[in-house]
Amino acid sequence: MPKHGKKYRKVVAEIDRRKLYTLDEAIELALKARYANFDESLDIAVRLGVDPRHADQMIRSSIVLPHGTGKDVRVLVFAVGDKEKEALEAGADHVGGKELVEKIKEGWLEFDKAIATPDMMGEVGKIGRILGPRGLMPNAKLGTVTFDVARAVREAKAGKVDFRVDKAGVVHAMMGKVSFGPEKLKENILAFVDKLIQLKPASAKGVYLRGVSISTTMGAGIKIDPAELRTAVKQAA
């Protein structure tokens, strides 16, 4: 098994692995326990009471966090004509049609998010095996296949987070940078969990929010009390 360094072991020693913290306590502890010499991300993992094997319980959506993610997102748009100009004016980093498809076929992948107008999906589908496994394939359900490319580009640049439940029923997402401070991180987390609650499938039975934890990039996981978190979400609404 890999051995952790002294700094990591010191951080873990400050966390009670058996305790369920309140959201405020968890964020405070995560920020206090950080030790990396760069601006770490704060990530969240939520275990849901769903069975992803059933199509009606596959949670997949996106959200524009109140304070973004703090990440500089490189946006590529597959569009031609007026939509190409619209995308560029909205701040897209790369815009084009067939020439971009060919460039990607050759191995170029210098972007973080891809958006496409519906009329371009025939071409984009040719590189689905390249984009799909990397989570870069435009998807209508996530708002990245649209003729409203200006809005899609602005949302992507603002820190729109795409998420989906994995085979174990867990949703992972980035909630921002530790430099945001506790209040902004809390607001981002509350907005994200509220979105998850809204997406609860009618067919999902029993406890929906089964487990929640947050961690910085280099830090250990800190468990949050799901019941307290649900109450905090309602109070913030």
Q: What CATH code is carried by the domain that includes residue 218?
A: 3.30.190.20
How far apart are alpha carbons 193 and 188 in whole angstroms? 9
Contacts of residue 213, Cβ cutoff 8 Å, sequence gap at least 6: 44, 45, 221, 222, 223, 224
Provide the pLDDT for residue 15: 81
Name the domain count of the chain: 2
Same-domain status, 152 and 166: no
**CB 193 within 8 Å of CB 209:** yes
Same-domain status, 148 and 88: yes
Same-domain status, 140 and 176: no
Considering 142, 158, 174, which residue would you say is the last residue of a domain?
A: 158
Provide the pLDDT for residue 88: 97
Ordered per-residue pLDDT tens for the chain, 237 residues: 456 666 666 666 678 888 999 999 999 999 988 777 889 999 999 999 999 999 999 999 999 999 999 989 999 999 999 999 999 999 999 999 999 999 999 999 999 999 999 999 999 999 999 999 998 999 998 899 999 999 999 999 988 999 999 999 999 999 999 999 999 999 999 999 999 999 999 998 899 999 999 999 988 899 999 999 999 999 987
Same-domain status, 120 and 60: no
How far apart are alpha carbons 234 and 23 in whole angstroms? 13
Same-domain status, 90 and 41: no
Specify if 1 maps to a domain. Answer: no
Provide the pLDDT for residue 143: 92
Considering 120, 141, 158, which residue would you say is the last residue of a domain?
A: 158
Task: Please give the torsion angle defined by the CA atoms of residues 77, 155, 135 and 83, in that order, rounded to the nearest 10 degrees.
Answer: -20
8-state DSSP, 21: B
Domain encompassing residue 131 = 75-158
Can you say how many angstroms the Cα of residue 44 is from the centroid of all Cα atoms in its chain?
Answer: 9
How far apart are alpha carbons 227 and 237 in whole angstroms? 16
Question: Which is it for the CA torsion 135, 139, 142, 148, positive or negative?
Answer: positive
Same-domain status, 103 and 207: no
Same-domain status, 151 and 165: no
Provide the pLDDT for residue 35: 73
Which residues on neighbouring strands pair with residue 89, listed in sequence order?
Answer: none
Same-domain status, 164 and 154: no
**CB 26 within 8 Å of CB 214:** yes
How far apart are alpha carbons 203 and 222 in whole angstroms? 30
